[in-house]
Amino acid sequence: MKVYIIGAGPGDPDLITVKGLRLLQEADVVLYTDSLVNDELIARAKPEAEVLLSAGMSLEEMVGIMADRVRAGKMVARVHTGDPSMFGAIMEQAALLKREGIGI
């Protein structure tokens, strides 16, 4: 069980990594901060994907949604601006997901 954390790059939707784009296109659920991630990039998700806007959600709400969808057998992608391992606030999400038994 895993959530895929995808870095959206510096803003230009053409600058996402090849792997990031592939994961985005395969994901059943895409969770992203609509005020920070380019909508043109999210439009590349598969048409039947459940796309959720995380602006206004608490950390616990986001993690709860991700955990529920993963447990339901869905492939979940959490899209962050930039390089999430360097600049994103993923540590809090990773810690709560780990507590739920879900890796990133």
Residue 76 lies in a domain: yes
- Closest CA relative to residue 42, chosen from 58, 62, 27, 57: 27
Residue 104 lies in a domain: no
Domain count, the chain: 1
Residue 7 lies in a domain: yes
Evaluate whether 82 touches 8 at the Cβ level (below 8 Å): yes
Residue 91 lies in a domain: yes
pTM of the model: 0.84
Give the pLDDT confidence of 38-63 residue by residue, as tens digits: 999 999 999 999 999 998 999 999 99
Angle at 8 between CA 16 and CA 92, to 5 degrees: 140
Evaluate whether 66 touches 97 at the Cβ level (below 8 Å): yes
Give the pLDDT confidence of 61-87 residue by residue, as tens digits: 999 999 999 999 999 999 988 776 655
pLDDT-wise least confident of 10-24, 47-61, 87-101:
87-101
Any idea what DSSP says for residue 14?
A: G
Domain of residue 88, CATH code: 3.40.1010.10
Evaluate whether 54 touches 62 at the Cβ level (below 8 Å): yes
- Considering the chain, what percentage of its residues have pLDDT values greater than 70? 93
Structural domain of residue 84, as residue ranges?
3-99
